[in-house]
Structure 1
Amino acid sequence: MNPLLTVLATDVDGIRIAFEEGSLTTLKIVIGAILFGVALDTRLEDFAAAVRRPVVITIGVVAQFLLLPALTFALTLLLDVRGSVALGMILVACCPPGNVSNILTHRAGGDVALSVSMTAISNVLAIFLMPLNMAFWGSLHPTGDALLREIDLSAVDMLAEIAFVIGVPFVLGITIARLWPRVAAVGHRVVGPLSFLALGAVIAIGVANNWSIFVDHIGVVLLAVLLHDALALLLGYVIARGTRLPEASTKAMTFEVGIRNAGLGLLLVFTYFDGLGGMALVAAWWGIWDIVAGLAVAQWWRQRAGRGVRAEPEPVA
């Protein structure tokens, strides 16, 4: 690593991003709203549909909760990032997707039904797998482990927080979708966009309040996030093509693996890691760049289809 970057990386391990208690509460509400929006577009039938496509769902689960964290860990070692940046990258990799993956799949002309099913399954599994993944991979990192011991992270406490933030909105949203489907349909169209605009506003305000820190240290995480995001999207695409999924399913798999709910990661950074500098910068920048990169990929697929390259038909069975 460049000596200057080494100094900056060391510094970023020692800084803390200021985030007021009121802002943290707002962030928690916004993340809950995002998951509520996902649930409003989820039906119990989506879980039944997932059961009927066990191979595809299993491929997605393995890619998201096993391969992506493992490859992320390897990337942190390859880039030689410092502890807080490594932990931020690992945390983001452990996050489930949000409904942005569904929107991008639709825009790209992909298998939206598969995308919605995978999002629902992934968010439920993330309640249990996210804290375990974070504790496991974080403890293996040569510099991240020391920070984890200083923070004394409890996987049980994180599980409880994730269960509350994901589980409560998810159950509420699915219940409304089941009992009042028309209300859920309207609510999804409103809650989804508004919650992501609100998340963008919270991130923007947080960056503005810590502008000097952001300017001084963004270079430390810039390349790491760009490469990490590209790796996540590429993993989804490669594993889909490698398992011979149809093109529409490949698009869904690409976004389900590549798009992470970094807002949830940001919430956990301020709840359990005291705004640890590198982690907060990674989660905040990922939340911005992930959408930009995802939109670019979706637009490329959309234009490709417009030029007459059609998706492979989905199998009837």
Structure 2
Amino acid sequence: MSATSLVILNAVLALMMFGIALSLKAEDFKRVAQKPKGPLVGLVAQFVLLPALTFVAISLISMPAEIALGLLLVSCCPGGSFSNLMTYLANGNTAMSVSMTGIASLLASVLTPLNFMFYASMNAHTDALLKTIDVSTWDMLAIVVLVLAIPLTIGLICGRRFPTFAAKTEQFFRVISLTALLGFVAIALILNWDQFIAGASIYLLFVVAHNALALTLGWASARTLGLPKADRRAVSLEVGLQNSGLGLGIIFTYFAAQTDMAIIAAAWGIWHLISGLSLTFFWQWLDRRQLNSAGTVAK
């Protein structure tokens, strides 16, 4: 991929992050300070438990080092804005989901590269591959700060100073975010289409299993800590629906030759949309069933 293409891709990713921050309000962060239990459970599951369990999985299950790196990178990414919409449709705590997305995106500026490089260096196979690529933690920190931290900061400032502009453009940036994610996925698959088709069953098996782990981890963490149903759904979707667009941006920039990594992140980008919608519809069905049962008992 040419230098110009990389600049464009990272600029689009930065625009996505700007749009996320633009819709955030001071109340979203105050809410976390007032009721920190739910967001804290989600953030620990997101940045501590999921990368750690992914590391255990890639250490115990035999797989190519590139696939292991792809799964590890996705597990270190924050939740995306898609989780907010899915939480709303699932009758979850949407306000908490929005707060978690904002805070997770800010924390990811540091935690995503640090987690990824730490766990990748702990596995002999992935560490050997990293050394051949010659990418450092500082390299990854630089790109994540450029496409994540700076756009988020600018977006927060603009949202606070120009609330009318933020309100009018919120829907536009939601569309941009989803379109950009699908664009990143399409580019990754088109560039590696033959390889994807040749090993589609293996790629999808790893991605589906990994996504199931993330969703289950979010739900189990929230359930274990006694969070109410709406909060459990928000945490589950926040942990289970990763910002794979960020992962693809990092891969295109520093791991362009590792096609398996790009395929894994792209497949994640497709599958987490499917799994998120499926889980949302399932929860909607459960709510209708419970409502109908309550109505029948009342009669």
Q: CA deviation at 1:281?
A: 1.0
Q: Distance between the aligned counterparts of 1:206 and 1:224, measured in 2?
A: 17
The answer to whether the 8 A contact 1:23-1:202 is kept is no
Question: Where does residue 270 of structure 1 map in the other structure?
Answer: 252
Question: Where does residue 226 of structure 2 map in the other structure?
Answer: 244
Question: Where does residue 63 of structure 2 map in the other structure?
Answer: 81
- In structure 2, stretches of 5+ residues that fail to align are 293-299
Report the 3-state secondary structure (helix = DSSP H, G, I; strand = E; otherwise coil) of the residue aligned with 2:16. Answer: helix
Q: CA deviation at 1:220?
A: 3.1
The answer to whether the 8 A contact 2:87-2:234 is kept is yes
The answer to whether the 8 A contact 2:97-2:238 is kept is yes
Query: What amino acid is the match of 1:68?
Result: L
The answer to whether the 8 A contact 1:237-1:250 is kept is yes
Q: CA deviation at 1:193?
A: 1.4
- Give yes or no for the alignment of 1:55 onto 2:55: no
Question: Where does residue 286 of structure 2 map in the other structure?
Answer: 304
- Give yes or no for the alignment of 1:224 onto 2:206: yes
Residue pairs, 1:119-268, within 5 angstroms: 119-268=101-250
Q: Distance between the aligned counterparts of 2:24 and 2:180, measured in 1?
A: 22
The answer to whether the 8 A contact 1:69-1:90 is kept is yes
- In structure 2, relative to structure 1, the CA distance for the partners of 1:115 and 1:301 (3 Å cut) is same
The answer to whether the 8 A contact 1:27-1:199 is kept is no
Q: Distance between the aligned counterparts of 1:179 and 1:220, measured in 2?
A: 49
Report the 3-state secondary structure (helix = DSSP H, G, I; strand = E; otherwise coil) of the residue aligned with 1:143. Answer: helix
Cα distance per residue 1:97-125 (max 9 Å; x no partner): 11111111001011011101111111111
- In structure 2, relative to structure 1, the CA distance for the partners of 1:205 and 1:280 (3 Å cut) is closer
The answer to whether the 8 A contact 2:22-2:166 is kept is yes
The answer to whether the 8 A contact 2:184-2:266 is kept is no
Residue pairs, 1:73-112, within 5 angstroms: 73-112=55-94
- In structure 2, relative to structure 1, the CA distance for the partners of 1:34 and 1:68 (3 Å cut) is same
- In structure 1, stretches of 5+ residues that fail to align are 1-18, 311-317
Q: Distance between the aligned counterparts of 1:191 and 1:185, measured in 2?
A: 10
Q: Distance between the aligned counterparts of 2:242 and 2:233, measured in 1?
A: 15
TM-score w.r.t. length of structure 2 = 0.93
- Give yes or no for the alignment of 1:29 onto 2:11: yes
TM-score w.r.t. length of structure 1 = 0.88
The answer to whether the 8 A contact 1:37-1:99 is kept is no
Q: CA deviation at 1:231?
A: 0.4
Alignment RMSD: 1.6
Q: Distance between the aligned counterparts of 1:207 and 1:172, measured in 2?
A: 32
The answer to whether the 8 A contact 1:35-1:98 is kept is no
- Give yes or no for the alignment of 1:287 onto 2:269: yes
Q: Distance between the aligned counterparts of 1:290 and 1:166, measured in 2?
A: 21
Query: What amino acid is the match of 1:216?
Result: A
State percent identity of aligned pairs. Answer: 41
Q: Distance between the aligned counterparts of 1:289 and 1:157, measured in 2?
A: 29
The answer to whether the 8 A contact 1:236-1:256 is kept is yes
Q: Distance between the aligned counterparts of 1:248 and 1:229, measured in 2?
A: 21
Q: How many residues align?
A: 292
Q: Distance between the aligned counterparts of 1:267 and 1:275, measured in 2?
A: 13
